[in-house]
Each structure stands twice: as C-alpha cells, then as structure tokens.
Chains A and B, each alone.
Chain A
Amino acid sequence: MFTLIRIELFKIFSKWRTYIGFIAIAALIPLIEIAMLIQKERTFDWITRSMGQSFIFVGNFLNTYFVSYLIINSIALHIPFLITLVAGDLLAGEATAGTYRMLLTRPVSRFKVVTSKFAAGLIYANMLVFWLALISMGLGYILFGTGELIVSKSAQIIIFERTDVIWRFVLAYGYAALCMCVVTSVAFFFSSLVENAIGPIITTMAIIIVFLIISAIDIDFFQKLKPFLFTSYMLNWQSFFDSPVDIDSIIKAVLVLAGHIAVLYTATLLIFKRKDILT
C-alpha cells in the first residue's frame, strides 16, 4: 500500500496543476504581509478607532500570530478551491487519460487503488495547509516577530499571551487540515462518478458555495439543515482562539467532519468496486 501511495503522490506532484495551490499561497501571503508591514499601526485602526479613546495599547500586537490569524481567517474558505483542483482529478483524471485500463488490469485490488489515491489526496491537502502555516508564520516571524495575539470576536476582544498561542495555532491548522480533508473526500467522491476532472472540481466548489449560502440565510428550514452541512463546521478552527476553549463543540465538529470523510470514502469505494470501466 505504501508503494501505491508513493506512486500516487509521484503522479500528483508530476502534474503542473498541483503547484497552483502552493504558488498561489506563496504569492498571496507575502503580498498581504508586506502590505501590513508598510501600513504598520494602521493595521490596528479597526481596534484603535473604537477603543483607542479609552485605552492605551502597549506591545507588539502586529506580530506573526496576529498576521497569521488574519490570513487564515481571510482565506480559510478559499483554500478548498485549490484542494478540488487535485482531488477532483484523482480518479476522473485516470478516465480522461485512459489509464484506468492500464491501472486496473494490474494485479492490485480496487480497494488498494482507491485507498492509495484517497490517501495521497489527503496527504496533498495536509501539505497545502502546512505550506500555508509555514509561509504565514515563517514569513510573519521574520517580518514582525512574535508578541501577544489580539483577537476580536463578536462579543469580546481576547488577548492571548505569546506563550499561550502556539498550541492554539497548531490545533487550528490541524483542524483546518481536517476540513480540507472533507473537501478532498467530496471531490474524490464525485471524481469516481465521472470521466472528466472538470465535473468534480466544479461540483465540489458549487456544493461549498451553496452550503455556505444556505447556512447564512436566516430561515428556519435552512437553519435546521445547518448542522448537517459540513461547511457549518469549517470555521470552528476559531474556537481554539476562545477563552476558555469550547472543547465540546470542537469534539462534536471533529466527529461530524470525520464522519463525512468516512462516509464519502466508503461510498466512493463501493461505487468504484462495482464500476464497469468502459473508458
């Protein structure tokens, strides 16, 4: 199985489209951070405008933690689109290329083929999130150093001591990676149904957009649907920046997301095992 996963990763990273996500992050984040570096204190206008009349803020609040928090907050819902580019191609790409015939006439079970591709897709998703973390925090550290993290939530402002921040980011990025694994699972599932990668890519993106819209509309029926939509849990990484951390809600979210991954993987496996390869 490890050989198969290694081969799948090799195939993934031999395609140019895989690097779109990495390049996009590598280009966008430095742009954001340099812009913040240029405008410096004005970055905190959002807080000083309202509270500056009453309070004096002392300390290096414009630091790698704040910048990384800002970045993950801004692009958390856009990263999925970079994931679908690769995940949607995992199975459908073989059909498009005509390589299913070559692949599935090897003495290897369809279970191993599907599982190794799925595992490779998950590894890619995690690598992309890790890359995001590395660029955000690494470059942020070089440009801004460390300091306390100031977070503005809807009901309050929370300041975290610098020694109390790193573990939150580790868990937040880990949670974000789990969310991206769900996106991978969705795209992978659709990839098993069709013979062209464009379909699963667009379908997954459409599902994310539709689910987000449904969650945002304040109608009773939609609000009842909300707990069942995986997008409702995609922003729960912010819970790691609460004080205290709401462990129960995080555990619930993790279980829901893990459940989505399990169900989608199983469905893909069942479909693929029975699929007639006609391409």
Chain B
Amino acid sequence: MSCVFAGSFFNFVLAKTIIKDYSVSEAVIEIKNLNKHFKDIKAVNDLSFNVYKGDVFGFLGPNGAGKSTTIRMLLTLISPDSGSIKIFGKDLVKHRLEILRNTGAIIEKPDFYGYLTAYKNLEILGSISGHEIPKNRIMEVLELVGLEKRFKSKVKTFSHGMKQRLGLAQSLLHNPELIILDEPTTGLDPQGMKEIRDLILMLSKEQHKTILLSSHLLNEVEITANRMIIINKGNAKVEGDVRELLFAGKLNVKVDVGNPEDLNRIVTESRWGSFLDSKSNSTFIFNLETKEIPELNRFMVSNNIEVLSIVPTRSLEEYFLSITEKGA
C-alpha cells in the first residue's frame, strides 16, 4: 500500500477563524468596521480584517464585491462613511502623509502621462513624493520589472503589459514597507506573470515587505499568498491562512487504485458510496473531510484494494466559488 499525501497538514479549521495568534502590534493594516456606500449601493459593509507584517495577503472577491473600494479607502482616494483604518499602527486620516511615504500601490490599470517617457514618469512621481529619487534607483526598479531598455520611450507607446510593469515599478520606487497590488498581472503573458509572481515572493521573503494582493487569478494568489480574505457584497466571508482555509471542510480526495472494479464494488455496497463524487478508469474522487481520509484508506486496505495514491486537493477556485456562491 502506498499513499501519497499532498498538502501540508490536516489541522481542523473553521471558516472565519484566524488560526495563528498574531499579536496586534505586528499588524501592518488594521481595518475595523469599515463602511462605504454609493447612493443606494452598499459597497463595503462592516468590513474588518488585519494584514500582518511579512504577509502576502490575498484579497479576493467576485466583481463588485468591494475590493477596489476597500483598496481605494486604504490609499485615501475614497473616504469611508464609518469605521477605522490603521496602517503601521497609525490612524490613516491623521497620519496620511507618513503612511503613504511607506506605501506603494497599483490600483487597477495603472495610467501614466503618456506624453512623457517611462523614466520621466517615475522621476515625476518620485519628486511628488517629496524627495528626489536618484537616477540609479529609477533604473534599478525599471530593471526589476524588465523595462530598463525602454526607459526613454514615451509611455503612450507601451503595451498594456508594459504599463502594468511600469505600474509595479512606480510602486517600488521609494522602497516602501507596504505594497498594495490590485491586479498586478493583468495583461501579462505567462512568462510575465511568473516573473511578477517571483518578484512578489522575493519582496516578501527576502525584503520582508508586506503585500496586499488583489487578483482574479486565483491560482496566482494560491501560489504567492500566505493569508487571504474573501469578500462578497462588501462583507467578509472568510479570512485566514490560505492552506488552512483550503483544507478546511470537505476536500476532493483523488484515489488511484490498481483494481478499480473491486473498489467500485465495495464502495457502492458501503457507506463510502455516498462520498463518491466521480470516477474515471482507475481514479476515484471522494468528497471527504480531512479526518475521513485515513478511515477510507483503512477501509480500502482491509478490503484488499491496491491503493496506488490518495491525493486530497482543493483549488482556491473551487473554494472561492463555494464561498461566494454560498453568499449569493
């Protein structure tokens, strides 16, 4: 009998529970009871969550969930109706300038002064920040995003993907501690996406940046984020460690066996038949809770089933859809 377990651990997780006991003093972003409405539409409804130092925090939700509104409130582009936002332990309203000096961001599609060069755009944005950014720093961030050869080109000649890279460059210009990225890989090719993902991981692991990442590309968040929140209709649905949330509740457990006919027979005759989701040739997919996996394994082994592999999986996409459709 051989079993292969993928996934990291089988801790019992409840939705909406923060697993690790992060002390509040390590929180980089603290959002409490945030509310915002536009005319009759409640865009953000009593939203609360924290982002801790060193997190790559996935900020997920379907279209219209309130992600962009929340991000804009974090960056003072929009004023909340009520609630509080603290960044670096300081009230955002009272310490706006100090906080923004240490924050870089891309919000949706980054737009620049098309009639100016990439270099000039970054130089201007740096100057507005209150200090002249040295030329080598500008070139450094351009190189980081792969635009060093186009620094003299006017931005209006850039493709969407290049503008996206430039957006990332401007967010890193002043070496901020907190980076807020809203759809950073939109418009990039697979190579570009990988490069941005690697960059995010590098910034997090090597430079210990705190990153708030909002993306529709769920597999990207799954790879890069360690914590996440899913919101829908302005409300928080789940928040916590990515792996823990993914492996909480029922999983799709893929079982490969050497004698599929035998397994098929015993499964249908037993209670395990109700857990069977689908089968194909020698692969059976069961919908089980974590604790039921070893039970199934014992059942199969005791019934002389040649177990080749047991792989519990849940994709973030599946999880996301389960949460948001539930909410819908």
Report A's interface with B, CB cutoff 8 A.
Answer: 3-4, 7, 10-11, 14-15, 97-109, 274, 276-278
Report B's interface with A, CB cutoff 8 A.
Answer: 72, 75-79, 96-101, 103, 105, 107-116, 124-125, 127-130, 170
* Chain B residues whose CB sits within 8 angstroms of the CB of A14 once the complex forms: 113, 115-116
Contact of B130 with A108 in the complex, beta carbons under 8 Å: yes
A-B residue pairs in contact (CB < 8 Å), sample of 7: A100-B77, A101-B108, A101-B111, A102-B112, A104-B76, A105-B105, A276-B72
Contact of A277 with B72 in the complex, beta carbons under 8 Å: yes
* Chain A residues whose CB sits within 8 angstroms of the CB of B130 once the complex forms: 107-108
Contact of B128 with A98 in the complex, beta carbons under 8 Å: no
Contact of B111 with A102 in the complex, beta carbons under 8 Å: yes
Contact of B113 among A99, A274, A276 (CB under 8 A): A99
Contact of A105 with B79 in the complex, beta carbons under 8 Å: no
Docked pose: A106 CA to B131 CA in angstroms: 11
* Chain A residues whose CB sits within 8 angstroms of the CB of B75 once the complex forms: 104-105
* Chain A residues whose CB sits within 8 angstroms of the CB of B108 once the complex forms: 101
Contact of A107 with B72 in the complex, beta carbons under 8 Å: no
Known: A277-B72, A277-B77, A278-B78. Is A103-B116 also a contact (CB below 8 A)? no
Known: A11-B113, A107-B98, A107-B101. Is A277-B128 also a contact (CB below 8 A)? no
* Chain A residues whose CB sits within 8 angstroms of the CB of B98 once the complex forms: 107
Contact of A102 with B170 in the complex, beta carbons under 8 Å: yes
Contact of B76 with A105 in the complex, beta carbons under 8 Å: yes
Contact of A104 with B77 in the complex, beta carbons under 8 Å: yes
Docked pose: A14 CA to B109 CA in angstroms: 23
Contact of B111 among A4, A10, A15, A99 (CB under 8 A): A99
Complex: chain B residue closest to A105, CB-CB: B75
Contact of B115 among A15, A104, A278 (CB under 8 A): A15
- Indicate the member of B111, B112, B116 with the most A CB atoms within 10 Å: B111
Contact of B76 with A102 in the complex, beta carbons under 8 Å: no
* Chain B residues whose CB sits within 8 angstroms of the CB of A3 once the complex forms: 127-128
Contact of B109 among A4, A7, A98, A103 (CB under 8 A): A98
Contact of A106 with B128 in the complex, beta carbons under 8 Å: yes
Complex: chain B residue closest to A4, CB-CB: B128
Docked pose: A106 CA to B127 CA in angstroms: 10
Contact of A7 with B127 in the complex, beta carbons under 8 Å: yes
B6 CB to nearest A CB, Å: 40
- Indicate the member of B96, B105, B108, B128 with the most A CB atoms within 10 Å: B128
B90 CB to nearest A CB, Å: 13
**A99-B112, A101-B110, A278-B78 given; 18 more Cβ-contact pairs under 8 Å:** A3-B127, A4-B128, A11-B113, A11-B124, A14-B113, A97-B112, A102-B125, A103-B128, A104-B75, A104-B76, A105-B100, A105-B105, A106-B125, A107-B98, A107-B100, A107-B130, A108-B128, A108-B130
Complex: chain A residue closest to B114, CB-CB: A97
A122 CB to nearest B CB, Å: 20
* Chain B residues whose CB sits within 8 angstroms of the CB of A15 once the complex forms: 115
A6 CB to nearest B CB, Å: 8
Docked pose: A102 CA to B127 CA in angstroms: 13
B36 CB to nearest A CB, Å: 9
Complex: chain B residue closest to A11, CB-CB: B113
Docked pose: A109 CA to B127 CA in angstroms: 14
A114 CB to nearest B CB, Å: 13
Docked pose: A277 CA to B107 CA in angstroms: 11
Contact of B116 with A107 in the complex, beta carbons under 8 Å: no
Contact of A107 with B113 in the complex, beta carbons under 8 Å: no
* Chain B residues whose CB sits within 8 angstroms of the CB of A109 once the complex forms: 96-97
Docked pose: A161 CA to B188 CA in angstroms: 72
Contact of A107 with B77 in the complex, beta carbons under 8 Å: no
* Chain B residues whose CB sits within 8 angstroms of the CB of A107 once the complex forms: 96-101, 129-130
* Chain A residues whose CB sits within 8 angstroms of the CB of B112 once the complex forms: 97, 99, 102
Complex: chain B residue closest to A273, CB-CB: B79
Contact of B79 with A276 in the complex, beta carbons under 8 Å: yes
Docked pose: A276 CA to B115 CA in angstroms: 26
Enumerate the 8 nearest inter-chain pairs by beta-carbon distance, A residue then B residue, closest first: A98-B111, A107-B100, A277-B77, A107-B101, A106-B128, A276-B78, A107-B97, A101-B107
Contact of A274 with B79 in the complex, beta carbons under 8 Å: yes
Known: A7-B128, A107-B129, A276-B79. Is A97-B107 also a contact (CB below 8 A)? no
Docked pose: A105 CA to B77 CA in angstroms: 7
B137 CB to nearest A CB, Å: 16
Docked pose: A108 CA to B77 CA in angstroms: 12
Docked pose: A7 CA to B127 CA in angstroms: 8
Contact of A7 with B129 in the complex, beta carbons under 8 Å: no
B34 CB to nearest A CB, Å: 14
Complex: chain A residue closest to B99, CB-CB: A107
Docked pose: A15 CA to B113 CA in angstroms: 10
A225 CB to nearest B CB, Å: 35
Complex: chain A residue closest to B98, CB-CB: A107
- Indicate the member of A4, A97, A105 with the most B CB atoms within 10 Å: A105
Docked pose: A14 CA to B127 CA in angstroms: 17
Docked pose: A99 CA to B124 CA in angstroms: 12
Docked pose: A98 CA to B108 CA in angstroms: 10
Docked pose: A247 CA to B97 CA in angstroms: 47
* Chain B residues whose CB sits within 8 angstroms of the CB of A7 once the complex forms: 124, 127-128
* Chain B residues whose CB sits within 8 angstroms of the CB of A100 once the complex forms: 77
Docked pose: A12 CA to B78 CA in angstroms: 27
* Chain B residues whose CB sits within 8 angstroms of the CB of A11 once the complex forms: 113, 116, 124
Contact of A108 among B111, B113, B129 (CB under 8 A): B129
